[in-house]
A and B are shown apart, each in its own frame.
Chain A
């Protein structure tokens, strides 16, 4: 399986996927850590993929999305953005709305 097939498969078989440096338990970069905090705060289940595990994955994800940096967040197969965009959307409440609209259950929607 090529790296882009692997990436495509991960993105299509998980509702929420975060390509990051490190793991959700141990983020290895401030930007990845910020997105982890936001997702944990909203309480949405997600799959973390550590791009530091493989050079192919680290480069492959940038080609896949034509986006030059990591972290990269995907929801229901769609690229949402990197750290800046996820934080901006979170602060504007748009990220929570996106999860609701896409039918992704979260702690927040459970509370509401």
Chain B
């Protein structure tokens, strides 16, 4: 069952309440999205740790239901 952009945004925000999330649908198939996530809680964390926070928020869908999520994370004002 493909994912909807709003589902992705909501799941990320539930796990990272202070996140600003922008989702772009890359292929219109519910399977390939690009996401930009800006959050204060990323401060001091490596890119790998930041991305893991987002993947954890998606509760195992990453790499399964959601085949591709081109992800960019940053802290506010970066």
Contact = CB atoms under 8 A, between A and B. Distances in A.
A66 B47 CA distance: 14
Interface residue SS majority, chain B: mixed
B52 A69 contact: no
Contacts of B47: 81, 85, 88-89
A79 interface: yes
Contacts, number: 31
A82 B51 CA distance: 10
Nearest to A80: B48
Contacts of B70: 83-84
A88 B72 contact: yes
B72 A81 contact: no
B68 interface: yes
Contact of B48 (A68, A70, A85): A85
B71 A81 contact: no
A70 B68 CA distance: 10
B62 A68 contact: yes
A89 B51 CA distance: 14
B71 A68 contact: no
Contacts of A79: 48
Interface of A: 31, 62, 66-70, 79-85, 88-89
